Amino acid sequence: MNATISRVLGAITTSSKGTVITAGGLIIGALAAGWLLKLEVLWAVLMGASALVSGLPITAKALRSLGNRHVGIELLVSLAMIGAILIQEYWEAAAVTFLFNLGGYLEARTMARTRRVIRELIEIAPSKAILLKNGEQISVPLEEIQVNDILIVKPGGRVPVDGEVKSGSSSVNESAITGEPLPVLKQTGDSVFAGTQNENGVLTLRATGIGEDTTLARIIHRVEEAQEAKAPAQRFMERFARWYTPLIIGLSGVIYLVTRDPSFALTVLVIGCPGALVISTPVSIVAGIGGAARQGILMKGGTHLETSGKIDAVALDKTGTLTLGDPRVERIVSLQKDDGISPDMVLFYAAIAESASEHPIAGRIVKTAEKQGPVPPPTSAEAVAGKGIKAAWQEKNILVGSRRFMEESGINIDQEDVGAADIGSGETMVFVALDDRLVGLIGVADPVRSHAKEAVARMRSSGVKRIVMLTGDNRRTAQAVARQVGITEVHAELLPEEKLAHIRALQEEGFTTAMVGDGINDAPALASADVGIAMGDGGTDIAMETADIALMRNDLTVVAQAIERSRGTLRNIRQNIALAIITVTGLLIGVLSGNVHMAGGMLIHEASVMLVILNGMRLLRPAD
């Protein structure tokens, strides 16, 4: 029985376009019967019918809330409708319920529009892929594709899975994933995302991510989570509505006891509804997250959106964040030539150890060595975060990493030999030791991102007071990069826990701090910062999962855009709250002074709801 009642209540609490149209039509019919035909009975019947059509869903929802010990604003409207019908004020009963339903319908439409971002993302993924099998091209459902399958993507087609280009070249439009409107040239070795548009060439791919393990699927999952997560301001407004509603009901009761005027008491009851106030924050948060997603800025939820609007200190990792994360081996120096160790051997041994590492520099050293021949895997390897890697191969012990790593491992470093190696100031110096003896150095240069200097300047202009570089790289390289991008505060040669300590120090000084990074060694700092921001498709999975904001475009200026968008959302929330409070306060003063009546007040009330909705929708527009 209870289940039946619950289903009935559930069915009639659904605010729908049909309810609004039916109730509105009955009101128009009633006005025609009263004003044109002078049929007062028909006027009252039609107005009462309109009130019931609109009021039943509202009353049902109020009863469900009461059953859950929650007093919502629907109870205010329901009591006002019932009271108005009892004193035969049918027009007021119809107007109150119709306008309340109309506001709910418009709010639902706005929310649906913001969630259209998710539907658009889902719809861009193709349902089929062209599988290359035994030299034949076979069209198969996407569910049948496995990792490492070879696929063909023809001009005009969409990329079905995350993959690596094996052959061919083409311009690919990645705007749906990264927000970058210009197509990107993809050729052998490049990564491509599921859902992106292949524009003009034939690409042969190897599938690297399928199903839920694609970048597109992760974006959809993150946006869905973000829009469900409530911001502190949103939770506060819901708590406010819980005590405000009983207060207005009590005030209305007192007014009736004092004045014995039911119409006056009902007007206070209805006009006091905080509808615009309750929706002021969720409308802005959902629209702000949806608009950011369109620009390739994925926020985990309203809490992080709100906190991002208060950022006044930013810590930046160097490799992969300020630099491209695509280092090049510039020089290889042997320090033991007399013992027959050539530069090629230094590179070979370094590559064996680095093949077990995920660091961008490690990958480049391995690729450089592979040009000379195959690189065997190490017998065993152990990465030491922020320092380097230890490996064993054919009874030889190999150490590759920083000077600090060598010193802590007991390797003797001859400063005169290192100085004579002539490694450039902008190059990262990688030390290579074999069987406890330093045998060589590798100079690796990682170009600075083209927009890094502009991005740092834009962060400052958007209100960030302090910008620091936190890097595990050597001080000389770090300072060379910092000079190029305009950063004056540099902390170099840091371990992951030392980056974390610098983040906490900034927080203790009172800064709301963002950490921007992309690597495993950034994960602790990303997690501890008030806002962790992970950079683009070059970022490691752990960095992307740990961060509060993920940037799908490898463009550092997007960090400033994310901060500016968050600040804009906070301004939008404040504007909405101010508008709602001013409207309700003004209307209550008008009612108590006898200058505002129920129908007119309700009209102004609902107009304020619509203004709040329209103001929130502005956040869906793309930012500059």
Active site residues: 317
Instruction: Judge whether 514 and 543 are in contact, CB under 8 Å.
Output: no
Provide the β-strand partners of residue 136: 133
Task: Please state at what angle helix 232-259 crosses helix 73-86, rounded to 10 degrees.
Answer: 30
CA–CA separation, 430 and 56 (whole Å): 74
384 SS3 class: strand
* DSSP-derived secondary structure for 9-38: HHHHT---HHHHHHHHHHHHHHHHHHHTS-
Helices 232-259 and 262-271 sit at what angle, rounded to 10 degrees?
170
Q: How far apart are CA 174 and CA 194, in angstroms?
A: 9
User: What is the C-alpha separation between 418 and 441, in angstroms, rounded?
Assistant: 8
Q: Which residue has the tokens 């309109």?
A: 50
In angstroms, how far is CA 564 from the centroid of its own chain?
A: 14
Structure tokens at 103: 């506001």
CA 518 – CA 532 distance, rounded (Å)? 10
Cα–Cα distance, 94 to 43 (Å, whole number): 11
Order of strands, sheet of 513-517, starting from the edge strand that comes earlier in the sequence: 297-299, 549-551, 531-535, 513-517, 313-316, 466-470, 489-491
